[in-house]
Structure 1
Amino acid sequence: MSNTTFDDLHSRLLRVSEPIAETLRRTQYKPQESSKVSTKDLLLSLLPNTSPPPRLLDEEQSLSSIKSLALACALLSSSRSSTHELLSWIPESLSVAGESAFSEISRVYFSDSNAENERLVMELLPVVLPELKDGIEGSSMGKDNDEEDVSAAMTRKPVGYAILAAHQLRWFVTQVDKPNLAKVCNLVVPCALTALDHWSPDVKRQGMISFVHIAKNVSSGDLGSYGDVVLDACCQNIASDDEIWIHVVELSVLLVTKLHPNNPRSSWYERIMNEMLGHLERQPRNKEKRMAWLTFVEPLLNALGLFLLAHFRRIFPLFFQWMHSDDAQTVLLVLERLETVVRLTWIRNSPVFPRLVEELVSLYKESSMRKERDEIRPLILRILKLLRECKRLQFESAWRQYQDDPNLSTVVEYICRPALSEQREPLVGSEGL
């Protein structure tokens, strides 16, 4: 940034923030008494007010002068993707104003009309992250809450401040993509870990979303020794609140497959898989949890390969139950994951084979009454054909009881068709079951 007087910079920041301040003052907001935090007051405190005496600024002082306004913009923009009561009151127009203001700050700071937001975020991270980390830690608890002294409890800040800081953290982190994010891993990861270790699910969620973005934009080498630390935090959070389950699953799968891509013998695979399956077994009818797991687990299944055999006794009872769910999306996802498991393992030496054929046939017949049958049946047929190809004798033994069923003629025709002659899927919706 070229040298400028503080008066000049501050006047520009005032001009940029005026629309925000005006809209913010007009917006009705009544914080809940239980929160002990006023987001509106916090936002107003972050906006510039009176101009101090003019003086020459160096780059560090310039960054400090725009930090507060940038934090306000981050909070306003974060409200777009949050339903939390501390942010849900912010109107769309105010979020847009915050995003526009940040873009204008970038242009002002770099004296460049084409300056991108990511460039300014990279400059601000060393200044902003320590403050956000302190804000999150301010309401955290010690590892042993029973032994926490009274004075520490008395000085702990309301959790609302940590929730807001976590939203700001997420916003700043997600503004930076590859390859730039790798350059600030040592700054970003410790701060995100602080959010991940917090007791509040609302803070944890923002930390996990931040880490998902990090995992997608840096290499395993960039994460370095932090990788296993984050994996351990994931494992500890798998059995936590339902509301963050989807993020735990996505992050755990992303990280373990990135950090240990060709090592299914790694203890992390077994630990993560067992933790997830154990949690699903405790709540097998929880739709949100099974949908999240089925949606994100595919890379983990592919990475485990034949090592999936060790988990058959826990996976298949869940699959068999979910296959007959009233929810069509669950059924489709189960069949897709089931096809992956069969393809990877060929159901080697498993007593589950006859039961699997039975459940697939049952589902095929049940699907006649579903409007999604034209999506469900091709998946069933592909799995049955794959089972026949990998275990012909076992399949024919299991299929013997169905071979004379006239309602399964299309199934027989498809699974017995020579592989080279397969041109297209059969018209599975035409049978009158």
Structure 2
Amino acid sequence: MNTTSDLHGRRLLRLSEQILEILKRTQYTPQESSKVSTKDILFSLLLPNTSSPNQVSEEESIKNLALVCALLSSSRSSTHELLSWIPDNLSAIGESTFREISRDCLSDFPSNAEELEELVVDCGEIELLPIVLPELKDGIEKSSLGKSSDAEDVVAAMARTPVGYAIIAAHQLRRFVTQVEKPNLVKFCNLVVPCALTALDHWSPEVKGQGMICLVHLAKNVTSGDLGLYGDVVLDACCQNIASDDVIWIHVVELSVLLVTKIHPNNPRSPWYEKIMNEMLGHLERQPRNKERRIAWLRFIEPLLNALGLFLLAHFRRIFPLFFQWMHSDDAETVLLVLERLETVVRLTWIRNSPFITRLVEELVSLYKESSTRKDRDEIRTLILLILMLLRQCKSLQFESAWSQYQEDPNLSTVSEYILASSS
């Protein structure tokens, strides 16, 4: 470990005691349903540093303190009962303590203040990743189950090892991984991916979610080549988790789209595109009225649509019924997202050999009229006009036939004038 000689001694002792004093004064009542005490876990990590510092190795002391800091700072991004009790002042001192450890790690490197500030967080995480990740992986794995496990297996596993330990370890894992960025993170793919996959294989949605966030961060900071042989393994894990809990649907959608477009760019014939799209559409068809799921999908699916291009035609019979239903949702966010994705689909495919043109014109006209009472009327109508013009450009005869029944409608006179003016 690249640390100064007094880090193990006076400074490390001071940092640990500072957190310990605040922790002792912080009220904490464990949930009756939980068999895990987060406060006891924190004490178990801090007390060896403070009660017998001379008997704990330097590496062990720094690892313990870093795990404490990771757990404390994780409370700022989680509402889970195991972390929600941690007050802001305790989270803040956890973050500042970690930064102080990191600065000590950099003490031997000459750099100006600005460079030091940029490197501070990465250095501490990089020094610690090979030490803490195997331990966190083991903590998650202890309460994991096999692929064919049922409800009775879950109960048995919880009795053997409470899931709270895996939840805490998963949050610590996320904290460590997400603080390291390019180019440094690539050096630790072989550590991060197995740990994150272990989290994805866990039965707890809370643990799965943290693993997905780790993999999203990893995918954003490494190249497809860096992922190497892990690419298809992670994509398979994504597919296995698409039919997931509502809480983590947004993460699995973001991760699946990010990975398939990164690992198989410019290759829409890859079976992963069809598999992921079909899995997602099938899940959305089963819950078309689930607002959170549809918004998450509409928000993150754009790169996958662009990558598929003309291959989207194979999914029209499933995509358009969902779009037609969502276009008339009560919430403006869904409506605007649907129209934006519709514009993408029309632009990429020109609706070739599609029976949906007449129905699409009908639904757009209906939405145009409905929007008169909406707050986001102008944004909605701008997108509708854009899609109508695209339809006219790519399917002039079919569009004219579909539009002919609306030409005399006084409520659509502005639309007719716009189409006529734009086409002349």
Matched to 2:130, the amino acid is: P
Superposed displacement of residue 110, structure 1:
3.6
Partners of 1:11 and 1:51 within 8 A in 2: no
The CA RMSD measured in Å over matched residues stands at: 2.1
1:97 aligns with 93
Cα distance in 2, alignment partners of residues 325 and 143 from structure 1: 38
Superposed displacement of residue 155, structure 1:
7.7
Superposed displacement of residue 308, structure 1:
0.3
Identity %: 78
Cα distance in 1, alignment partners of residues 81 and 31 from structure 2: 8
Check if 1:214 corresponds to 2:210.
no
For 1:225-304, list aligned pairs within 5 A: 225-304=229-308
Partners of 1:16 and 1:105 within 8 A in 2: no
2:25 aligns with 26
Matched to 1:262, the amino acid is: N
Cα distance in 1, alignment partners of residues 11 and 209 from structure 2: 35
Superposed displacement of residue 51, structure 1:
4.1
Distance 1:2 1:342, change over 3 A: closer
TM-score (norm 1): 0.91
Cα distance in 2, alignment partners of residues 171 and 186 from structure 1: 18
Cα distance in 2, alignment partners of residues 308 and 146 from structure 1: 37
2:70 aligns with 74
Superposed displacement of residue 144, structure 1:
3.3
Cα distance in 2, alignment partners of residues 8 and 203 from structure 1: 33
1:11 aligns with 10
Partners of 2:242 and 2:252 within 8 A in 1: yes
Tell which deviates more after alignment, 166-175 or 63-72.
Answer: 63-72
Cα distance in 2, alignment partners of residues 283 and 158 from structure 1: 32
Distance 1:75 1:153, change over 3 A: closer
Distance 1:154 1:238, change over 3 A: closer
Partners of 1:209 and 1:247 within 8 A in 2: yes
Superposed displacement of residue 287, structure 1:
0.3
| Cα shift readout 1:255-308 (whole Å, capped 9, x = no counterpart) | 000011110011000000000000000010000000000000000000000000
Check if 1:205 corresponds to 2:203.
no
Q: 1:328 aligns with which of 329, 332, 346?
A: 332
Distance 1:2 1:233, change over 3 A: closer
Matched to 2:125, the amino acid is: V
Matched to 1:13, the amino acid is: L
Distance 1:107 1:18, change over 3 A: same
Distance 1:392 1:96, change over 3 A: same
Distance 1:181 1:83, change over 3 A: same
Matched to 2:244, the amino acid is: S
Q: 1:63 aligns with which of 56, 59, 66?
A: 59
1:39 aligns with 38
- 5+ residue gaps, structure 2, are none
Distance 1:364 1:63, change over 3 A: same
Matched residue pairs, number? 413
Partners of 1:75 and 1:164 within 8 A in 2: yes
Distance 1:407 1:148, change over 3 A: closer
1:119 aligns with 123
- 5+ residue gaps, structure 1, are 56-60, 422-433
Partners of 2:7 and 2:104 within 8 A in 1: no
| Cα shift readout 1:213-232 (whole Å, capped 9, x = no counterpart) | 01111100010111111111
Q: Equivalent residue of 2:181, what SS?
A: coil
Cα distance in 1, alignment partners of residues 260 and 356 from structure 2: 28
Cα distance in 1, alignment partners of residues 143 and 228 from structure 2: 28
Superposed displacement of residue 149, structure 1:
9.2
Cα distance in 1, alignment partners of residues 161 and 210 from structure 2: 19
Cα distance in 2, alignment partners of residues 320 and 146 from structure 1: 38
For 1:140-159, list aligned pairs within 5 A: 140-145=144-149, 153=157, 156-159=160-163
Distance 1:374 1:2, change over 3 A: closer
Partners of 1:201 and 1:244 within 8 A in 2: yes
Check if 1:85 corresponds to 2:81.
yes
Q: Equivalent residue of 1:404, what SS?
A: coil
Partners of 1:10 and 1:51 within 8 A in 2: no
Superposed displacement of residue 62, structure 1:
3.3
1:186 aligns with 190
Matched to 2:19, the amino acid is: I
Superposed displacement of residue 111, structure 1:
2.8
| Cα shift readout 1:144-179 (whole Å, capped 9, x = no counterpart) | 3369999x8588311000000000000000010011
Distance 1:281 1:360, change over 3 A: same
Superposed displacement of residue 238, structure 1:
0.6
Cα distance in 2, alignment partners of residues 272 and 218 from structure 1: 22
Which structure dedicates a bigger proportion of its chain to helix?
2
Distance 1:406 1:52, change over 3 A: closer
